[in-house]
A and B are shown apart, each in its own frame.
Chain A
């Protein structure tokens, strides 16, 4: 039930960002951007430990009255951010995790595509469909 899904590259620029169009997209873009700070903070906090120990799923980054932001970072510092509407029945942590897992796996599929240059925006249809599925189910 994501309201917005974003994939941010290592250099902190978005590779892919998509929101439920009905809402003000700019607001979500801004939210995702600000959540990056929280991600960095979490990553650096845990980062002292070996990367292996660092968990990919960051959990709830911060909640606002309207929505909650969850983060997930890969080993290559690619970040996934999911914004979920609070009004929705709060999703269980596991569901969020599974969403991230799906995102991660489809992201790797995109990466595996030799025609994809890392750093390009993601234009894969399959990736789009997976994200849509995640967003549609919610709203």
Chain B
């Protein structure tokens, strides 16, 4: 770059100008509209300006660096002095007056008048730039005409130098709120810029600080909104006070933004890149919008009331209908006020419309307010008061509130996040914020397994059952339902079931209690019974099953979570037995337990079955549930075989045996049948079931299902169903292994029985609950009476 020596005055002046133009503080004034305006304000012909631009090297660089800028200024001074533009003369000419930049006010008027007849401008433009159809007329300032010469002058230039390019920098951010926004020649066609650029200039002239009448003139440029050209609001603010800029320079800035041809190149290129998203707001634009926003509402997190926004946008001279449409698009939360994002979107749309782009039907993604959201919740209440005054029809406001709730329903349709709506004002949150809503449905962790009915797949495989059995016996506490596990201590305290001691029952206790009664202090009996049923199944089943993907959901018949838990337990129990889902609640502590003091402790909880009682009560229960007997055979989990296979039950190792399984199952079932079912029945059932230990996995499955179901059932009638099922299933046993179809049939049957049993289970659960309540009340009475007894 040519060296340039400046006098002090010049230095100062130029630096002021540079600062003025360097709005973005980038130390380089890229084809800044300001620069162009400035140059234009120098009242030099366009070609001179272009020449200057070239000379100063901006063409080469594509932007005005400080030095280029200074050189340009110097050249301007030269030109204004009438001296030929020579690089050499930069330093040679002494006493060069400072470049003068004039804001031609009179030009404004002329421009105003000329503005409207757009057509004339279009003529010349069309040759240069294909105007978008439907360009809003009357937006062009008359300056277009002025520009035309520029355009023509510009044309010859290499396309790259799009004169227009309007200033990349946002217009002076000074409180000129209404500063003319320079229109950027949006990239699209390089050839466009010239025309656009031309158009940009004039408007800027109008921004005479202090003098302007504030006639909102919008220069609309045709450049595709791709690059969002700036709309210039010719506006009132005489208050526009250029920041710290020489008054003269202030004028310049507002006036000429001649395109520095070179400078524009970059812009054009940049703009072109924006094509992907035609509605994207560039940073400069956004910055400009923000500044405008500030002028209306200093608080960036605040809102612009509708009335103020109305005035603002009316200045754009767009038809009210279109403004109304723009408002509808941009007021995301429909609160009658504009947040910063909404305002930017609205402004952007206005700019686009001024450029001749049709308004979209829906708000484009990139314009959607993003940050609405939870952060706004603080802002939302603030908006509430604003809403009041923002909405024109006051009466509507109150209506709005009541109707707001209904709006919520609409919001999702609008792809707006509903977050805002949450805070009263029913502002629908932007779609982006929707995600924030996502209630993270935390996966049910084992500890809270009870709360979340996690369906557990009962793997019917025999191996599974075996595993479960083993596991159960081994480590009861591995039961996923930790709550259950937690229960054991409580349960153990239960007196009633005290008798029922299951070696491995701790787990079962845990299960039973937690399972069915969501950690209520279940009567031990129930717990115990459950234990039994669970013990074998739950730990094992659960262990085996829990990790795997959730099994089919427990039947809907389980109304209570507890019952669901129970289901889970049952499923666990029946894991090995059923292909089905029903997780039978761990053997509901059979009512009989209290009644049957002899609750079979005998139920060796070996398997962890909670059915110890069952065994003892089995005789009693057996008659009731003859069918259970069948199931018990299938009890995989060494539910303590109440009756017969006590031994088999006990050894966990016997899990493999179908009998064990049966017994376990039966026991489990019995358990579930809180009151009536006694292990006896189970036992008897088990005993009755002729099923030999041959634990055909299939059969076991079938049976377990059947057994479990009956367990759940309170009523013999149901159990009758079960037996039927069992019977059918029993008949199958042998064939299963052989015939695939048979297996499938058996599976089907099992599922049927599962459902039946599940239903039974739920009913039993209910009964159990009732009984437990009774028990509790009795205990309370007992407590009350105790002191007296001591007396």
Contact = CB atoms under 8 A, between A and B. Distances in A.
B327 interface: yes
B396 A113 contact: no
A75 B335 CA distance: 19
B391 A111 contact: yes
Given A112-B387, A113-B331, A116-B392, 6 more contacts: A76-B395, A76-B396, A108-B334, A111-B400, A114-B310, A114-B336
A112 B342 CA distance: 14
A75 B711 CA distance: 61
A118 B327 contact: no
Contacts of A118: 392-393, 396
A113 B306 contact: yes
B275 to A, nearest CB: 26
Given A104-B406, A123-B321, A111 B328 contact: no
Chain A to chain B: the 10 pairs with minimum beta-carbon distance, closest first: A114-B306, A111-B396, A114-B310, A112-B336, A115-B324, A76-B395, A118-B393, A112-B391, A108-B400, A105-B403
Given A76-B396, A76-B399, A115 B361 contact: no
A114 B391 contact: yes
Interface of A: 74-76, 101-102, 104-106, 108-118, 123-126
B321 A111 contact: no
21 contacts: A75-B398, A102-B406, A104-B403, A105-B407, A106-B410, A108-B334, A109-B328, A109-B407, A111-B400, A112-B336, A112-B392, A112-B396, A112-B400, A113-B328, A113-B331, A114-B306, A114-B391, A115-B327, A116-B324, A116-B392, A125-B325
Taking each of B331, B399, B410, which has the highest tally of chain A beta carbons within 10 Å of its own beta carbon? B399
A71 B309 CA distance: 35
Assign chain B's interface to a size class: 20 to 34
Contacts of B403: 101, 104-105, 108
Nearest to A117: B392
A70 B473 CA distance: 70
A114 B391 CA distance: 6
Contact of B399 (A102, A108, A116, A125): A108
Contact of B334 (A109, A116, A117): A109
A114 to B, nearest CB: 3
A115 B390 CA distance: 11
B391 A115 contact: no
A109 B395 CA distance: 13
B307 interface: yes
A125 B392 contact: no
B200 interface: no
A104 B334 CA distance: 13
Contacts of B300: none
Interface in B333-372: 334-336, 361
B320 interface: yes
A131 to B, nearest CB: 13
A125 B393 CA distance: 19
Contacts of B390: 112, 114
B260 interface: no
A105 B331 CA distance: 15
B507 interface: no
Contacts of B307: 114
Contact of A75 (B320, B321, B391, B399): B399
A76 B395 CA distance: 7
Contacts of B195: none
A108 B392 CA distance: 11
B327 A101 contact: no
B323 interface: yes
Contact of B395 (A75, A113, A125, A126): A75
A112 B324 CA distance: 10
B406 A105 contact: yes
A36 B35 CA distance: 64
Interface in B431-448: none
Contacts of A124: 324-325, 328
B704 to A, nearest CB: 47
Contacts of B325: 124-125
Contacts of A108: 334, 396, 399-400, 403, 407
Contact of B328 (A75, A102, A104, A125): A125
Interface string B379-411: 000000001001111011011100110110010
B410 A102 contact: yes
Nearest to B390: A114
Contacts of B310: 114-115
Given A104-B403, A117-B392, A112 B398 contact: no
